[in-house]
Amino acid sequence: MQINYIILTHKSPTQLERLIAKLDDEEATFFVHIDLKTNIEQFKYLQKENVIFLEDRVDVVWGDFSIVQATLNAMKSVVAHKNNGYTILLSGQDYPIKSKKEIKEYFSKNQDFDFIDSARIETVWGRYRERTVARKINFSSKKKDFSVIYSIFDIRSLFELCILGYNTLKFFIHSPLKNYKKLFTTLISKRKIPISIQYGGWAWWAFQYTTVEGILEIIEKREEIIDYYKECLLPDEMFFQTLIHLIPNYKVNIKESITYVNWGKGKAVSPITFDESNLEELLQQPENKLFARKFDIEQKGIIILDKIDENIQKKHILLK
């Protein structure tokens, strides 16, 4: 079974090398996007026939459309190479918690499905209008260095008015002067939303080749969708989750994401970084969780990855 792995990464060539090595075989192709801010030369030693580094690189900003754009660029490369089979979206901090054999068997058993968390957006986030109606204005490319601004004509409640007041104050304190025109335009321009029903969910997915083609065809015909999501907060958690439902004649066969994430306690912005204390938690994941994130060998070493590999190998030997 042909599998295309899209990998978005910005650091640690060693960790990327290990991820590719665990998934590599004669039926795997890797489409790697290196953040434009990162020196790509340190990764070039990994390049070979089935490891393709995207030339059309993006300066990726947290919570921004740039993440979606980097993914779309990789999807276009998959289609340009005419690589049938499943396309799986990973980050450089993901890692398989199942063997290559188990991964392929799972897709073979579920070959008519796409895998993505996609539910009506109002059921996913209580404050979903901050993502769909308000506009995100970046101050810089640093994480969380932005403000989310409603138009005065889109305010529906006292709470949203308070949010507008707080975020406008934040804007005046932190934003460079070049953004002021955009602020005033945003305040007086009612938001046009080109999609009647939106969906949201976890950002990582696995799509059939026809689904990849279908999404690319939509954005080619409907530029207003791209323009809309460019101003949204965290569009990577809405864009693909929504567009999959807009594919003409698409038969909705969707199962949940194949990537396991632990968000820890409270309202965390980022998931926990796994270490060896999480080993049992990872090994006990059901058959539909093929990958996990996130891992960071620079912060917490490689022990957890070694232990995952050891257990996969033991399981493989027992099943022989």
Q: What is the pLDDT of residue 120?
A: 96
Q: Does one domain contain both 205 and 146?
A: no
Note whether residue 129 is domain-resident. Answer: no
Residue 300 CB neighbour total at 10 angstroms: 16
d(CA 149, CA 171): 9
Q: Does one domain contain both 158 and 220?
A: no
* Count of domains for the chain: 2
Taking the alpha carbons at both ends of the chain, their separation in whole angstroms is 21
pTM above 0.85, yes or no: yes
Q: Does one domain contain both 107 and 222?
A: yes
Q: Which domain holds residue 149?
A: 134-188
Q: 280 pairs with which residues across the strands?
A: none
Helices (H), 111-266: 121-124, 129-132, 158-174, 180-188, 209-221, 223-229, 239-243
Note whether residue 36 is domain-resident. Answer: yes
Contact between residue 298 and residue 12 where contact means Cβ atoms under 8 Å apart: yes
Query: CATH number for the domain including 14?
Result: 3.90.550
Q: How would you write the pLDDT of the chain (320 residues) with one tens digit per residue?
A: 899 999 999 999 999 999 999 999 999 999 999 999 999 999 999 999 999 999 999 999 999 999 999 999 999 999 999 888 999 999 999 999 999 999 999 999 999 999 999 999 999 999 999 999 999 999 988 888 999 999 999 999 999 999 999 999 999 999 999 999 999 999 999 999 999 999 999 899 999 999 999 999 999 999 999 999 999 999 999 999 999 999 998 887 999 999 999 988 656 677 899 999 999 999 999 999 999 999 999 887 789 999 999 999 887 665 55
CA 317 to chain centre: 34
Q: Does one domain contain both 21 and 90?
A: yes
Contact between residue 60 and residue 70 where contact means Cβ atoms under 8 Å apart: yes
Q: 34 pairs with which residues across the strands?
A: 9
Note whether residue 69 is domain-resident. Answer: yes
Q: What is the pLDDT of residue 157?
A: 94
